[in-house]
Amino acid sequence: MLRLEEVLYSQGFGTRRICRGLIQQGLVVVGDAIDPSLDPDEFVDPHSLRFRVDGQQWMWQERAYLMMNKPAGYECSQRASSHPSIYTLLPGPLRQRGGGAAAGVQAVGRLDQDTTGLLLLSDDGAFIHRLTSPKHHVPKVYEVVLRHPLTANTCARLEAGVVLDDDPRPVKAAKADATGDCSLRLVLTQGKYHQVKRMIAAVGNRVEQLHRSAIGAVVLPDDLSPGQWRWLSADEVQLLRQPPR
């Protein structure tokens, strides 16, 4: 059981004082109640608790697990330099969950500002580590549009391994399949800086468009438009926690 004030605080609605004020002003409604008069110190069971804050519906989540369809022109940084941050596409409470220096959800790995597609976000450090650590070999699927047509051995070279300028050891694609004259689908289990672009450059071509379509067994749904986000389902979170097959 948690005090109602603590529920709001844990979900990122501000300091405890601000959360208490939201309740006292009648801006918080629990469940289907009509009377908004609530006691900030009232104990509630947070599990499956639904509540509205200033008219917006929320559900208590011990940890946040989200997916976003990242649009082009956004940086995956809290302190974006030359482009807007993907965090501006999220509601304030998701950016403030937990409080402290590391408040809010964090991107699970990054996509370049011109790269689009599936981006996961969470405030669960172990979950983030599980998906980003190279030793877990979580596959990421990229749809790549190239400037020049594929050669007969482009995919074979990417799967055999290419040498990048900062690492003498070859970097391999887990799978590379042509999807058109100037496009391919690339599956990677590593996450080096600008890896796709540098691998394509190493085989004498150039990336014109880059889109991530899947992470592990979770695929970006067609009905999630660029810039939109949603909560991951319990099944999706479980799939992402399982070792790759």
- Torsion over CA: 104, 243, 189, 245 (sign): negative
Token pair belonging to 109: 């790995």
Give the contacts of 105 (CB within 8 A, at least 6 positions apart): 64, 66, 90, 94, 95, 97, 121, 122, 123
CB 96, CB 14: distance < 8 Å: yes
CB 70, CB 109: distance < 8 Å: no
- Among 112, 123, 177, 222, which one carries the catalytic annotation? 112
Q: Does residue 112 have an active-site annotation?
A: yes
Separation in Å, CA 141 to CA 73, 76, 174, 200, 216: 20, 18, 10, 15, 8
What is the set of active-site residues? 112
